[in-house]
Structure 1
Amino acid sequence: MPSLLLRNARLVPVQPGDAVPDAPVDVLVERGTVTAVGAGLDRPAGVEEIDAAGRWVAPGLWDQHTHLAQWTLSSQRLDLAPARSPEEVTRAVAQRIAAAPDLPVIGWGHRSAGWDREVTVSELDAVSGDTAVVLISGDGHHAWLNTTALLHFAMPVRDSVVRETEWFAAYPRLVTLVGTDGTSPEAYRRMLDVAASQGIVGMVDFEFGASRDDWADRWANDCDLLRIRWATYVDTLDDVIAAGLRTGDPLFGDPRLTMGPLKIISDGSLNTRTAWCCEPYGDAHRLEYPAGQPNLSGVELREQLARAHGGGLEIATHAIGDAAVQEALAAYADTGARGSVEHAQMARREDVRRMAELGIRASVQPAHLLDDRDLTDKIWGERSERCFAFRWMLEDGVELALGSDAPVSQLDPWLAMAAAVHRSADERGPWHGEQALTPRETLAASVDGQPTVGVGSLGDLVLLDRDPLLRDLDDTDTAALGQALREMPVAATVVDGRLVFDALS
C-alpha cells in the first residue's frame, strides 16, 4: 500500500477544543493510516515525501449523496437550468435538433415549479418531430418526454410529464436510447479526477438501476481513485442479501469500495410538488395531491426497513416534506433500523429532536437551499423557517452529513459548505440566517466523521492553501465567509496514503 510523508503542514482542528500545535508538523501515513505526527520525522525508506510549506491539512472530504452515472452524463446533456419558461425549453430543443438532427435530445436541469403553467407533450412534439426527446427535471423526480420517446420506452402515451416511481423505473432504460459512452470507465475517471481536485476522498453512490457488478468493471478499469460506497435499491436488495453483504463490507476485496445502505425514496420533491407535507401547498388548487403524497404506504416502508435491517444494512430514506420525515422516523423507531434521513428539507422541531433520540443522521445538501429559496417562500410560505434547519439539528444533537445530490446540485463540497454558512447565492442577505452553520461545523459535517488528523486516523487527507476555518475573517460577515469557502484552493488530495490530486508540482 502507498505510504506518504507530508512535511510542514498545519493541522486543522475539526472539533472545538481540539488541541493542535501552533507550528507546522510532519504527518506520516503508512499502510493507509496516520502512524506519526510531529516535527522532524524520519522518512522511512521508499516513502514518498511532499513539502506542504505551511499549508493546512484536514481529513479528506466526502460527498454523502451523489448519483454518479447521472453526474457523469450531465456534462453531455442539454443544459436547461437557465430556462425560465416552457417556451425557452422548446426553443433550446429545436436548436439542438437543428444542429444534430440524427441524435436524440437528453436535457437536464429545468425547474418547472416556477413556471406559470403545466407543460404538455404535444408542444414538445411540435418542435421535435420523430427525434426522441427526454428532458429530466433539475430535481430528477420527473421527465418531460415527447411521444417518440414515450413509444421508445413502451410507456403509455399521454400529454403530461412522467413523475416519481414511473420515471424512476424508466430511467435505467435510457441507455437503450443513448448508449453507454457517457458512462464508460473513461468518462467516470474524468469526473473522479474532478472530484479529487476539490479535496473529495469519498462519495456515496445512489445511482438508480445500478448493479454492484458495474463498479467491479469500473474499478478494474482505472476508476479506483476515491473511496466509493455503493447503495442498493429494493430491486437489487435480494442479490445483496443473498451475497451476505452488510453495510461497510468490502466489495470485490477492496476496502476502498464498500457496501453502502439501502436507498428508499419515500416521497417526491419540492419542484415536482410531490414532497409529502403535513399541510397543503400554497398553490394546492393546481395539484392532484394538494399536500403531496408518499411513494410507499406505511406498511411497505416498514417492510423494506425491517428487511434491510435484518440483513445488516443501514437505510438511507429520502424524505423531503415534513410528513415524510415524520413517517420515516416512525418507521425507524418501529423497526429498530439505523441509517439516515436524506434531505430532511422541511421538518418540525419535535421531529428533529426525535431524529437525535433515534440516532438517525441527517444527510443534507445545503446548495439546494440556493435553488429552492424563492419557490419555498412561494409555496410553503411561513413553513420556510423550518427548511434546511441545520442549526436546530446541531443544537438537538443530530449528526449532520453534507452532500450535493449531484447532478441536482453541483458536486462541490465547498459550495455546500458556503451555502450552509451564508445561505444566499446573490446580493440578498442570508435566508433564515438563524439556521446557518460556522465554517468549522460545516467542515466537521463533510469529513465522514473523521477526527482532527492524528495518529490512528485514516490516510485520507486534503491539503489547502488557506485555513478552511477562516479564522482570519470576521465570523459575523457570512457573505465574506461564504465567498472564501467557494474559492477555497485545494493543493493536494490523498486517499489511503496515495496522492490522487497534486497542484503543488
Structure 2
Amino acid sequence: MKGTDVLLRNVRIGAGEPVQVAVEGGLITAIEPLTTGATGRSHRPGPGLDPSVGEVVECGGRTLLPGLWDAHVHLGQWAAARRRVDLTGTGSAREAAAAMARAADRTPQGEPLIGFGFRDALWPDAMAPDLLEWPDRAPRVVALISNDLHTAWLNREALAALGLAGHPDGVLREEPVLDAAARLGRATPEVRDRWVREAVREAARRGVTGVMEFEYADNLADWTRRAAAWPGGLPLRVAATVYPDALERAIAAGRRTGEPVPGTGGLLTTGPLKLFVDGSLNTRTALCHEPYPATGGHGTLQTEPEELVALMVRAAAHGIRSAVHAIGDRAGTIALDAFDRVPGPGRIEHAQLVDRRDLARYARPGLVLGVQPAHAVDDRDVADRHWKGRTDRAFAYAELLRAGARLEFGSDAPVSPLDPWVGISAAVHRTGADGRPSWHPEQAVPLGQALAASVRTEVAVGAPADLVIADADPAAADGPAALAATPVAGTLVAGRWTHRDGL
C-alpha cells in the first residue's frame, strides 16, 4: 500500500521545539525545524506544497508519537463482545442472571443471548442453570462468558445446543469454553468481518496502528481474506498468531514468524505459535507453586512440558516462534524451562505472577513478555483474595524491567478494552479512573518505559510512518483518568490516515 504524502507542520516530539515532519511512500522522509523548508522532494512548508503530491496538515503544536500497538488481542471476540450484555459490574450470580433477564426483553427471540465480563471469583453465590430460566419468557439460548474467557455459564437450552444436556451445573472451564463461545455466538464470515472492521475503526481513534492477533481461529486465513476485501487495504498492521491445529498448514505454506503474507501490502505478517501452560487467575486455574486458599489446588497444567517442548521445536525448525501463555508462577517456570531447550527468540504471554528465583531468566535474550497492565487494576481484588500474601510479585512490571526483561503491552481484549492508553495509565499509576489508591505502587512503570512498551517503531527519518497525533501531551496528563483518556487527533499507518479528527 503506497502511503499518502503528507507534511505534518507544527508538531512536537517529546519536549522539543515544534517541527515539521514529511511523509512519503509510507516512510518519514524529513524532520526539520519550522524555520526551514523540508528537504524531502516536493515537501515545502505552507501553501507552496504541490497539491498533486500531498498535503500540508497544520497540527497546532500537538504531540507526535509513534503508532501504538496492542500486543495481545482477540479481535473477533472483542468485536463480538462490543454487542454483548455487559456484566462487568455484576456482584453475584443472581445479579448477573437478572441483567441477562433484562437484556432478553430487548433481544429478538431466536438470537442467542450472550453476556460477557463477569468475575465469579468474588461472587458470594453459585452459578446454576435454574437462575437462567425465566418462566414468563419463551425458552432461548443463554450463555455468559467470564471476563478472562476461561469460564462459561450456560442455561439448559445452551447446553442442549452444544450436546451437553444433563450437565450438572452448566459451568464450563478452560478449553470447552472456547468451543462454546464460538458455536453459540456463531455468525457468518461476512458478519464477523463487518464487526471487526467497526472495531478496527474504533481502535484507530485511540491511536492503534498494529495488533498481535490471538483470536482462537485460523488467523492467517481470516486476515488474508479481510486484507483482500478491505477497501483500500488493511488499515493496521496485524501479526496473526498460529494455533497448534493450524501449525502444519502454516509450515506447508512456508509461513515464518515476522514475514509478510503475500498480497497484503506487507501489513499482515505471520505471528508466533500460541501455546498454553495454564489457565487464569479468576478461574483459579493459573498454575502456582502455592495452593489457592479457597480450594487447596495449585491450578491446572494444560500442556505437559514434554509436549510443550515438542511443539516449540517443531515450529522453530520451520521459522515459527512460540508465544507461551503462562499466568501462575509455576507456569512461568515451566515456560522458561521450555525456552531453555528451544533455540531462538519467543514470547511469554501474561506473566502475572512471577517466582523471584526466575527474574533473571525472564531477561533471556530474544524473549518478550506480552503483559496486560489493565489486568493489574481489574484483578486486584481477585488477586488479594486468591493470591493472598503473594501480590507483591503479581503484575511485577517494575521488577521485571529492572531485571532486564523486555515488556510489550497489550489488552487481551475483550478482557480489557482495546485501548492502549488504558494499559499505559494502569502501568504508570497502578490504579484506574475510579480513584482507588494505587495497588502495589512499587511496581509502577515510568511513562517513558510504558510508552516504549506500547510501540514498535520511532519518530525518525527512515522509519515507517505509523504515527499518532495526540491532542494533549501524555507527560502533562493530570492523573490516571486523564492519561487513560488521552485524546487522539490523528492516526496514520504507513503514511495513510486511518483516523482524523480536527486536523
TM-score (norm 2): 0.91
Aligned partner letter, 1:124: L
> Kindly tell me: are residues 159 and 123 of structure 1, through their superposed partners in 2, closer, same or farther at Cα, counting changes over 3 Å?
farther
Contact 2:145/2:181 (8 A) holds in 1? no
Q: Are 1:11 and 2:13 matched, yes or no?
A: yes
2:215 aligns with 207
Give SS of 1:36's match: strand
| Cα distance, 1:27 vs structure 2 | 1.2
2:128 aligns with 120
| Cα distance, 1:179 vs structure 2 | 4.9
2:46 aligns with none
Matches within 5 A, 1:312-327: 312-327=319-334
| Cα distance, 1:400 vs structure 2 | 0.9
Counterparts of 1:358 and 1:278, CA distance in 2: 26
Matches within 5 A, 1:344-423: 344-423=351-430
- The counterpart of 1:141, out of the listed 145, 150, 157, is 150
Contact 1:171/1:208 (8 A) holds in 2? no
- The counterpart of 2:491, out of the listed 480, 490, 493, is 493
| Cα distance, 1:439 vs structure 2 | 1.1
| Cα distance, 1:181 vs structure 2 | 6.4
Deviation per residue, 1:394-449 (Å, 9 max, x gap): 1111111001000100111111011011111233321110100111111111002x
| Cα distance, 1:180 vs structure 2 | 5.2
- The counterpart of 1:168, out of the listed 156, 175, 178, is 178
2:160 aligns with 151
Matches within 5 A, 1:64-103: 64-99=71-106, 100-103=108-111
Comparing 437-446 and 167-176, the one that deviates more: 167-176
Give SS of 1:52's match: strand
1:29 aligns with 23
TM-score (norm 1): 0.91
Deviation per residue, 1:226-276 (Å, 9 max, x gap): 111111111111111110100111123321111111111221011111100
Comparing 88-97 and 459-468, the one that deviates more: 88-97
Contact 2:224/2:268 (8 A) holds in 1? no
Aligned partner letter, 1:312: G
Counterparts of 1:394 and 1:337, CA distance in 2: 21
Contact 1:349/1:392 (8 A) holds in 2? no
1:16 aligns with none
Counterparts of 1:277 and 1:129, CA distance in 2: 44
Contact 2:395/2:443 (8 A) holds in 1? yes
Give SS of 2:492's match: strand
How many percent of aligned residue pairs carry the same amino acid?
40
Counterparts of 2:18 and 2:143, CA distance in 1: 53
> Kindly tell me: are residues 23 and 358 of structure 1, through their superposed partners in 2, closer, same or farther at Cα, counting changes over 3 Å?
closer
Give SS of 2:283's match: coil
| Cα distance, 1:9 vs structure 2 | 1.4
Q: Are 1:107 and 2:115 matched, yes or no?
A: yes
Q: Are 1:266 and 2:266 matched, yes or no?
A: no
C-alpha root-mean-square deviation of aligned residues, in Å? 1.9
Q: Are 1:340 and 2:338 matched, yes or no?
A: no
Aligned partner letter, 1:258: T
Contact 1:414/1:486 (8 A) holds in 2? yes
Give SS of 2:338's match: helix
| Cα distance, 1:84 vs structure 2 | 0.8
Comparing 455-464 and 145-154, the one that deviates more: 145-154
Q: Are 1:41 and 2:50 matched, yes or no?
A: no
| Cα distance, 1:358 vs structure 2 | 4.4
Aligned partner letter, 2:195: A
Contact 1:33/1:457 (8 A) holds in 2? yes
Counterparts of 1:293 and 1:153, CA distance in 2: 24
1:279 aligns with 290
| Cα distance, 1:384 vs structure 2 | 0.4
Aligned partner letter, 1:137: S
Comparing 406-415 and 45-54, the one that deviates more: 45-54
Contact 2:278/2:327 (8 A) holds in 1? yes
Contact 2:92/2:123 (8 A) holds in 1? yes
Q: How many residues align?
A: 481
Contact 2:114/2:185 (8 A) holds in 1? no
Contact 2:101/2:134 (8 A) holds in 1? no
1:131 aligns with 140
- Tell me, which stretches of 5 or more residues in structure 1 are unaligned? 14-21, 474-479
Comparing 30-39 and 136-145, the one that deviates more: 30-39
Comparing 167-176 and 393-402, the one that deviates more: 167-176
Give SS of 2:308's match: helix
Contact 1:364/1:400 (8 A) holds in 2? yes
